[in-house]
Structure 1
Amino acid sequence: MRHFETDKKPTSGGALGKSHYHDSAIKQVCGSANYIDDNPEPAGCLHGYPVLAPITAGVITAIDTSAADALEGVVRIFSAADIPGKIDIGPVFPGDVLLTDKEIQYHHQPVLFVVAESHDIARQAADLIVIHCDESKAVLDIHQAIAEKRWVRPPHSLQRGEAERAISEAKHQLKGELTVGGQEHFYLEGQISLAQPNQDGGLFVQCSTQHPTEVQHLIAKVLKQPFHYVTVEMRRMGGAFGGKETQGAPWGCLAALGAYHLGCAVKVRLARTDDFRLTGKRHPFYNKYHVGFDDDGLIDGVDIEVNGYCGYSPDLSDAIVDRAMFHADNAYYYPNAKITGNRCKVNTVSHTAFRGFGGPQGMIMAEQIMDDVAAALGKDPLEIRKTNLYRIGRDITPYHQKVEQHVLLDMIERLEQDADYWQRKAKIKDFNQHSPIIKKGLAMTPVKFGISFTVQHLNQAGALVHVYSDGSIHLNHGGTEMGQGLNTKVAQIVAQGFGVDLDVVGITATRTDKVPNTSPTAASSGTDLNGMAALNAVNIIKDRLTAFVIEHFDVSDKVVFADNHISHDKGSLSFSDLAELAYMNRISLSSTGYYATPKIHYDREKAQGNPFFYYSHGVALSEVEIDILTGENTVTRVDIYHDVGNSINPSLDVGQIEGAFIQGMGWLTTEDLQWKPNGELASAGPATYKIPAIGDTPAEFNVTLYESANPEATVFRSKAVGEPPFMLSFSVWSAIRNAIHSVSDYRYAPPLDTPATPERILQAVTAAEQWLLDNEQENDND
């Protein structure tokens, strides 16, 4: 029996390939979509809040809780000594401490946990507690961490060919470096958890998390209980972007600690400023490259070093820096390559997953190399990009995986023609020659992004499907809904499998007692994994129903599920009638489903393997304007082609592409994380940290889905769409560099760290003007 179905017949119709709004959309627009903080609090619910360290590095010498103890409404103050089980809640490697009782490793690190009768009293009490410390010198500079070899995990390298020899023998060589800024997740719903004892002697926890299973397991370990003691539920999140993959766990654990000791519900909700201070960000990086190339700009060899600014603990940094290394090639073939990744330990909050999971910080190096090579040779950057694309015969990555699908050249050439690349380029060059203040830039950049968790065991999923006797369907799966439309896509897959309308399928909250041992909803794998698991459950039930129909009606095996009916040789009946008939004949109408991604493997010792099941592709063309007196920039037009395979839901896919692009544009232009000299986060709110506003959206924004069936056997040959479009925003950064390049009459392209704030753009413009002045004086002297 075949329990996985990957191809959708062109004439099969059904729920797939149609635009449906996601399941919470109407509720969200009407304001009736409940999040954890919207739900009625249980009777007697208490509120908890962490007590935060006042320094960045040092040792606790004494704690004075007397003022807090005297405050009316304070119930209990918990310390590390009150934790019955594990204090370390590191998701993969140890190092993430729930409550510290001695060493302080970053500013605002949680030391105690106050539980009180209200949220306001708990916060007030936490502020009254005095923590005495012996302060030591903090390490905040990544260059110091590199020099002192301060790592949260050991370095790792990829190598293919002989990079050093190839570079030294190349006709041309270049060196460069780039500081890449981090990024705050800025989800609308902050970190929140509610834990309460259940009637069976365990705990029921509602947590805004991308990884309910991990929260379940960590709470159980903290309380020294079996996993079944804890049930975690997650219905919907108000955004996450990776910031709730591991970062939701501490607040679930603290709420559970309070509920365990006090025997009542305890709720933890971080204030927005503390949410900024206490949760990890996208890793800042400091990267370097050395490249050798020929007169045509064809790369002979590269030596790339990526350095992740990890914070005080490992968290997910090992895998994040791995992915930065895996994507340092982006879409380009390096015949000889050495790529090294360092995981730098510094005294800040531990940085964590963010859309792209390290891929953007590595991939931007490939785009810098292409731009720099083009500038050095006086060629158009798009020609250099096209020259170096992966193609047949030039298709092995630095980690020795073969690139099987080659669609990028076609996508680029289509976009060149449809968006008038060369005509616009000529007009912009002419404009810049006659415009003394405003300079325009244009850039087209591709994306090749690997799909799969780089940690192999996470590439699995489960689902639960019930068909009730009236023909309605209950769907539960291990993925979490954070606004991306995952529930809707998986429901469409279930509806397609049974040949019924989408509204027949009901979706319920993700719960660890329904689908166990789930993976996080991350790595763009939500639909790939959970959709396939749900389809597996559907097909198991269909096999039972098909066998029943054949026997009951004495027909052949040509049984078709479509249009809310089941057809066979002698007639048809509605799906609801079949469900009732099967129930009356004692046919099981429920099944679990399971899926594990095939073909993936990676030998870390050899630094070789196939870490990705397939690649998603995209191409973006961005046009920008910069003001060389103020450094301000405006993105005026964007054209995107993005490869989604067979789209399950086109409108959701377009929404993900648009949102990812704007979020990436913010990362590269306006979102500037800053720490004070004492290690405290300075950009701790929207007054000092600027995400893109609606006015920053390009005036002309064209998105086209490039549909081509996934060559790999994914669910109905679709492709992941959550993370890959984020990197399309590199076209904005490259276009800004192109505009700055025009200041020197396209003869010198200064480096441009990210985010490209007005200050950094002005610095680059000044560097270009100074280069031009120096060279004119040189020519005059000659």
Structure 2
Amino acid sequence: MNKACPPLAAETLSPTPVAGSSRPHESAALHVSGEARYTDDLPELRGTLHAALGLSPIAHGRLIGVDRAALLALPGVVAVLTAEDIPGENNCGPLLHDDPILADGELRYLGQPVFAVIASDRDLARRAAAQAARFIQCEARPALLTALDAHAAGQYVVPPMHLRRGDAAAALASAPRRWQGEWAVGGQEQFYLEGQISYALPQEDQGLLLHCSTQHPSEMQQLVAHALSWESHRVQVQCRRMGGGFGGKESQSALFACVAALAAHRLQRPVKLRLDRDDDFLITGRRHGFDYRWDVGFDADGRLLAAEVDLIANCGHSADLSAPVMTRALCHFDNAYWLPHVALHGFCARTNTQSNTAFRGFGGPQGALVMEVILDGIARQLGLDPAVVRQRNFYADEGGRNVTPYGQVVEDNLLEPLSTQLLQDCDYAQRRAEIADFNARSPVLKRGLAFTPLKFGISFNVVHLNQAGALVHVYTDGSVLVNHGGTEMGQGLNTKVAQVVAQTLGLPLAAVRATATDTSKIANTSATAASTGADLNGKAAQDAAGRIRQRLEPLAAELLQAPVDSLRWAEGQVRVAGRPDATLPFGTLVQQAYLRRIQLWSEGFYATPGLHWNRETLQGRPFFYFAFGAAVAEVLVDTLTGESRVLRADVLHDVGQSLNPALDIGQVEGAFVQGQGWLTTEELRWHPQSGKLLTHAPSTYKIPTANDMPLDFRVKLFGRPNGADSIHRSKAVGEPPLLLPFAVLLALQDAVASVNPSAPPLQAPATAERVLRALQPF
């Protein structure tokens, strides 16, 4: 491992820092003008062929064969590929080798790719593939379509997991009050605007260039190489940007990359595979839906004394990333609360449905959400304000109430000050009284109000993934190019990394350009996931730029005739403290460095320190730090129809010392609305007999629109520097704010309770139909 560049002294940083200021997204103008190039916008080389996938017509059964001759006779069809055409490993599973690229012998879900049609144009390929049911010979077998059915049958993709602290059984038996309940939350489609796509181009000397919309170029490189039985150095993967990912392009872009690469290699022609939206829904997985069974003990003040909980995830037909998703769910069950006695049991159920995968939050939301539902129910049973009950259970530094069930100390705990500020700023107590008065006077429309906090751990919970590399080039005119292992999917990662490099070298942001992610430049990268993109790649880029600056400092000191420690790097100039007329343009310094043969490029590397994890006992320190946040949501419910609106949402979120406040606020707003959609409108349905996904298009699957935004949306950043040594003391912002809209679901519960106090917890998504049913008192 390279030794990291020592951090630069604070006094040498720019007086008007680039890092920490609001700057536009580096591609914002290109997005708006339509000039931003995505994979499908790349010019197609002459001779490009197009692929489409023939999908299984049954949810479970035996694959007997595929009528290749009939398919090849269709207009425009050049080739038909099946599992037997794969020269290497027929697997695209990221962790376990249990996920075939193309079905081989067994059909596992309705929509599973069985063959690939390669045709002269995309429309002809799609028309041929759409007739898959005519050309696939198969024998149907009974299918398991729900997680509870699979759990009852003992069918799992990985062995059950157990996280324990204390003696939950004894604590439950002695608890003054006890509640046994069950609940469920559905999955969620990523619904990235740019669908899955790969474009494979054969290269000289048996190489391959793959343009792929993926969050994990290195994994695409490895899996394509394995499928072709090649060494990895023969496969180059590039990704300039994605039109959204949200986790859906972390592992599940692999199937499409492998098929495009296989076809391109076999035919020695460029091959593009771009999915139709319906096929994307039918083939790919999404956020895991969870079923829960709990037994909790508590006292008259609402303090939790013990909890035993089953978490049952619908994982689909293969493991994919379900094991780490469940691990993160178990590690986030506590959310913001200290639990003295817990026994958590995670079951990853194998069903004959799409293999579910990463989605923003990666199991964390599913773990924390059930805790919020439980606390809300306890408060209502006791006749207490749920906000008060939540605060009574907060982690605290005194009395040993600061250690998680998995053994990590909650350091730099911001729960109390952040929550207190939010509740005061949004006039929670006054609005609570006003809403009670409104509901007493309004027979049809009812309002609800809820407060929810969050604590979210930041790092991959697989320790070795917490590493990153970067490459920084300084050219003789003083301009800078940076390449790093992260991928840009709209979140502004390239902008933040460029800000870090500009800050380190004392340059204006316009002097730094970020290039496409490329496996030939930065090798063995981790996925851009787990909210680690800026933390890891920012630190790596800072290391690379810092090495260059350290090489330049002696030369700058010589040219300015000043000690190194008196130099100030800012705004494209090197200045001497106390000597206003002693300045040296960065470009001039670089030209002199080149003439003296000083290296003007450098690699950088970063590995998150202090992490350790025992995946057998589920104990350790899996997270570098915690991000905190809180939200208050107010809703209005029509008791005649069950329809609702979010009237107001107040958010205070902890991003440490923000690298870019404008981008971070945008991430918080986007995560809030995305999470609100998961919990209110985005309902997934499968046919109970055939197993076909019925909600496989925008016409049947409702993501939030502009009309679903909170009418009054107030988002603020807490703004306290991170206690951990993160990049410029910032905190990750991609995933944690998805937990904020828990307040929307529980505000709906609050409105329902004003009509039906004995209503059980609202199932999620809390669609209008479910809200209407819950309003009925019997």
Q: What is the TM-score with the length of structure 1 in the denominator?
A: 0.96
Return the alpha-carbon distance in structure 2 between the equivalents of residues 668 and 8 of structure 1. Answer: 44
Aligned length: 766
Contact 1:14 1:563 in 2 (8 A): no
Contact 1:312 1:349 in 2 (8 A): yes
Return the alpha-carbon distance in structure 1 between the equivalents of residues 576 and 229 of structure 2. Answer: 56
Return the alpha-carbon distance in structure 2 between the equivalents of residues 143 and 466 of structure 1. Answer: 54
Q: Does structure 1 residue 59 correspond to structure 2 residue 70?
A: no
Q: Does structure 1 residue 753 correspond to structure 2 residue 763?
A: yes
**Deviation at 1:556?**
2.1
Q: How does 1:127-276 map to 2 (within 5 A)?
A: 127-129=130-132, 130-276=135-281
**Deviation at 1:505?**
0.1
> What residue ranges of structure 2 are gaps of 5+ in the alignment?
none
2:640 corresponding residue in structure 1? 629
Report the secondary structure of 1:743's partner residue: coil
Which of 442, 446, 469 is the matching residue for 2:453?
A: 446
Return the alpha-carbon distance in structure 2 between the equivalents of residues 397 and 258 of structure 1. Answer: 49
Contact 1:449 1:617 in 2 (8 A): yes
2:715 corresponding residue in structure 1? 703
Q: How does 1:405-416 map to 2 (within 5 A)?
A: 405-416=412-423
Return the alpha-carbon distance in structure 2 between the equivalents of residues 509 and 457 of structure 1. Answer: 24
Report the secondary structure of 2:291's partner residue: strand
Report the secondary structure of 1:375's partner residue: helix
**Deviation at 1:554?**
5.4
Q: How does 1:60-79 map to 2 (within 5 A)?
A: 60-79=63-82
2:574 corresponding residue in structure 1? 566
Cα deviation 1:353-377 (Å, max 9, x = unaligned): 0000011111011101110110111
Return the alpha-carbon distance in structure 1 between the equivalents of residues 315 and 704 of structure 2. Answer: 25
Contact 1:65 1:128 in 2 (8 A): no
Which of 87, 90, 114 is the matching residue for 2:93?
A: 90
1:545 corresponding residue in structure 2? 552
1:35 corresponding residue in structure 2? 38
Return the alpha-carbon distance in structure 2 between the equivalents of residues 601 and 65 of structure 1. Answer: 51
Cα deviation 1:327-376 (Å, max 9, x = unaligned): 00100000111111110000001000000001111101110111011011
Return the alpha-carbon distance in structure 2 between the equivalents of residues 555 and 265 of structure 1. Answer: 58
Supply the RMSD in Å over aligned alpha carbons.
1.4
Amino acid at match of 1:579: V
Q: How does 1:279-298 map to 2 (within 5 A)?
A: 279-298=284-303
Return the alpha-carbon distance in structure 2 between the equivalents of residues 596 and 430 of structure 1. Answer: 55
Contact 2:633 2:747 in 1 (8 A): yes
Cα deviation 1:597-652 (Å, max 9, x = unaligned): 11111112232100110000111000001111111111010000000100110110
Which of 414, 427, 437 is the matching residue for 2:444?
A: 437
Contact 1:500 1:564 in 2 (8 A): yes
Contact 1:210 1:522 in 2 (8 A): yes
Q: Does structure 1 residue 688 correspond to structure 2 residue 700?
A: yes
Cα deviation 1:247-289 (Å, max 9, x = unaligned): 1111111110011111110000010100011111100000122
Q: Does structure 1 residue 402 correspond to structure 2 residue 409?
A: yes
Report the secondary structure of 1:225's partner residue: coil
> What residue ranges of structure 1 are gaps of 5+ in the alignment?
771-782
Q: Does structure 1 residue 5 correspond to structure 2 residue 7?
A: yes
Q: Does structure 1 residue 660 correspond to structure 2 residue 671?
A: yes
Q: 1:5 to 1:221 in 2, by over 3 A?
A: same
Q: 1:578 to 1:341 in 2, by over 3 A?
A: same
Contact 1:191 1:270 in 2 (8 A): yes
Report the secondary structure of 1:153's partner residue: coil
Q: 1:443 to 1:7 in 2, by over 3 A?
A: farther
Cα deviation 1:433-471 (Å, max 9, x = unaligned): 121111110001001000001111111111000011110
Return the alpha-carbon distance in structure 2 between the equivalents of residues 8 and 636 of structure 1. Answer: 44
Report the secondary structure of 2:102's partner residue: coil
Moved more, 681-690 or 570-579: 570-579
2:726 corresponding residue in structure 1? 714
Amino acid at match of 2:44: E
Q: Does structure 1 residue 473 correspond to structure 2 residue 475?
A: no
Report the secondary structure of 1:333's partner residue: coil
Contact 2:14 2:503 in 1 (8 A): no
Cα deviation 1:50-101 (Å, max 9, x = unaligned): 1111111000123223332112321111111111100012101111100112
Return the alpha-carbon distance in structure 1 between the equivalents of residues 365 and 686 of structure 2. Answer: 22
1:779 corresponding residue in structure 2? none
Moved more, 458-467 or 297-306: 297-306
Contact 1:187 1:239 in 2 (8 A): yes
Which of 318, 328, 334 is the matching residue for 1:323?
A: 328
Amino acid at match of 2:5: H
Which of 382, 390, 397 is the matching residue for 2:387?
A: 382
Contact 1:202 1:230 in 2 (8 A): yes
1:774 corresponding residue in structure 2? none
Report the secondary structure of 1:517's partner residue: coil
**Deviation at 1:749?**
4.1
Q: 1:262 to 1:480 in 2, by over 3 A?
A: same
Which of 107, 122, 125 is the matching residue for 1:122?
A: 125
Contact 1:372 1:749 in 2 (8 A): no
Which of 16, 20, 32 is the matching residue for 2:19?
A: 16
Cα deviation 1:194-250 (Å, max 9, x = unaligned): 000123430000000000000011000000110000000000110111110011111
Contact 2:497 2:538 in 1 (8 A): yes
Moved more, 606-615 or 747-756: 747-756
Contact 2:225 2:231 in 1 (8 A): yes
**Deviation at 1:431?**
1.0
Amino acid at match of 1:566: V
**Deviation at 1:506?**
1.0
**Deviation at 1:4?**
4.5
Contact 2:78 2:118 in 1 (8 A): yes
Q: Does structure 1 residue 726 correspond to structure 2 residue 726?
A: no
Which of 41, 46, 49 is the matching residue for 1:46?
A: 49
Which of 411, 417, 428 is the matching residue for 2:424?
A: 417
2:109 corresponding residue in structure 1? 106
Amino acid at match of 2:154: K
Return the alpha-carbon distance in structure 2 between the equivalents of residues 642 and 749 of structure 1. Answer: 31
Report the secondary structure of 2:564's partner residue: coil
Q: What is the TM-score with the length of structure 2 in the denominator?
A: 0.97
2:367 corresponding residue in structure 1? 362
Amino acid at match of 2:534: T
Moved more, 312-321 or 157-166: 157-166
Amino acid at match of 1:67: A
